[in-house]
Amino acid sequence: MQIKPTVFLITGLSGAGKTLLLQSLEDEGYYTVDNIPPHLIEPFLNILCTSNVKKLAIVSDIRWKNPDKLAELFQNVESLAKCNMEIRKVFLKADKTELINRYKKSRRTHPLGLSLENAIDEEMKVMSEIESYCDIVIDTSSTEPTEFKKRFFQMIKEDMKKLKLNFISFGFKNGIPQISDYVFDVRYLPNPFYFPQMYELTGLDMKVMEFLEKFKETHETVERIANLAKFIQDKYTESGRLEAYFCIGCTGGQHRSVYVAQKVYEILKNEGRDVSINHRDIER
C-alpha cells in the first residue's frame, strides 16, 4: 500500500514561532525547508510524488516581500500537486505586545525593514487574508515553547517521538561518563567482587545475578530507577527532547552496576519503550 505524502505549509507573523515548529517537525522525521519562495513550492511538492520523502514541512512567509503571491499560493496550493497528498496549511500568530517583547529579546530586525511597531502592524494587515486560507491557526501569545509543541501535535493527532533512554553501566574508578544526564551510585549493594567464585564474573552471569537477588535492596533499587526512568521519559517526551542518558555506577563497573542497568533496561524494553544498553567497563 502506497503511503500518501503529508505536507505542512507553514506561514504566519514574524516572531510567532515558525522556526520552532519547523525544528519540532524535523525532530519527528519531516524533511524541512525554511524561507522558500512561493514560486518554488510547486516543484518541491511534486518531488514527493517520485521520492522516498513522505513527510515535508516548509515555511514561506513575508521575508519574500510578495504577500499577493503568497496569498495566491495558500489559496490554490492543493491544485499544484501532481499526485495525491495531504496538505495542511498552518498559520502562527501572536499579539503585538508579545511580538515586540520577542524581538527585543532576540535583538533581530523585522524583515519588512520598518520601525518595529510599524513593521508588525503592516505584517498583520497584509497577512490577514492568508490566515483565512489556513486550516490550522495557532496564537502563540503567552505560550511556552514546550506547551506550544505539545499543543500542535495534539491538534494534528500525531504522537511526538518518545524520548530514548540510554542506560550505561560504569565503574567510578574509571570516571563518570561525560554524556550522563542522571547518575546513580549503587555501591551500597553487596559486592560480589569479594567472593572468589564471582571475582572474574560479571553482572550478566547467573551466579552474580542470583547473589544480588538475595537482597531486598537490590530489587528496590531496580524498581525505583525503572519507575523514575519511565516518569522522565513520559515527561520529557512532551518537551520534544530526544535522548537521555542514565548512568549507573559501582566501583569497577563489572558486577553491581551491570546487573542493575541490565535489569532496568529489560523492564523498560519489555514494556515496548525505546531504550538502549551499554556496559562501558565490563571488559576492564
Q: Determine the structural domain holding residue 169 and report its residue range.
A: 164-279
Binding-site residues from annotation: 12-19, 61-64
pLDDT mean over 240-265? 93
Give the model's pLDDT for residue 50.
86
Write down which residue in 159, 174, 193 finishes a domain.
Answer: 159
Alpha helices, DSSP H, located in 167-283: 206-212, 216-237, 256-270
Write down which residue in 105, 139, 159 finishes a domain.
Answer: 159
Do 108 and 135 belong together in one domain?
yes
Q: Does residue 107 belong to any structural domain of this protein?
A: yes
| Number of domain units in the chain | 2
Residues 6-31 pLDDT 10s? 999 999 999 999 999 999 999 889 99
Q: Does residue 241 belong to any structural domain of this protein?
A: yes
Q: Does residue 251 belong to any structural domain of this protein?
A: yes
CATH number of the domain to which 15 belongs: 3.40.50.300
Q: Does residue 1 belong to any structural domain of this protein?
A: no
Q: Does residue 284 belong to any structural domain of this protein?
A: no
Mean pLDDT of the chain: 92
Do 153 and 12 belong together in one domain?
yes
Binding-site residues from annotation for ATP: 12-19
Collect all residues with Cβ–Cβ distance below 8 Å to 246 and sequence separation of at least 6. Answer: 165, 166, 167, 168, 180, 181, 182, 184, 225, 229, 261, 264
pLDDT mean over 265-282? 95
Binding-site residues from annotation for GTP: 61-64
Do 220 and 135 belong together in one domain?
no
| Set of cell numbers at residue 76 | 490554490
Do 122 and 200 belong together in one domain?
no
Do 237 and 154 belong together in one domain?
no
Do 17 and 119 belong together in one domain?
yes
Q: Are 41 and 60 in contact (CB under 8 A)?
A: yes
Q: Does residue 88 belong to any structural domain of this protein?
A: yes
Q: Does residue 40 belong to any structural domain of this protein?
A: yes
Do 61 and 180 belong together in one domain?
no
Do 151 and 261 belong together in one domain?
no
Write down which residue in 136, 159, 182 finishes a domain.
Answer: 159
Do 177 and 155 belong together in one domain?
no
Do 151 and 168 belong together in one domain?
no
Q: Does residue 204 belong to any structural domain of this protein?
A: yes
Do 58 and 92 belong together in one domain?
yes
Q: Are 240 and 160 in contact (CB under 8 A)?
A: yes
Give the model's pLDDT for residue 178.
94
pLDDT confidence bin for 140, thresholds 50/70/90: very high
Write down the residue that cell numbers 520529557 correspond to. 236
Do 79 and 144 belong together in one domain?
yes
| CB contact burial 197-223 (16+ within 10 A = b; e otherwise) | ebeebbbebeebbebbeeeeebeebbe
pLDDT confidence bin for 239, thresholds 50/70/90: low
pLDDT > 90 in the chain, percent: 73
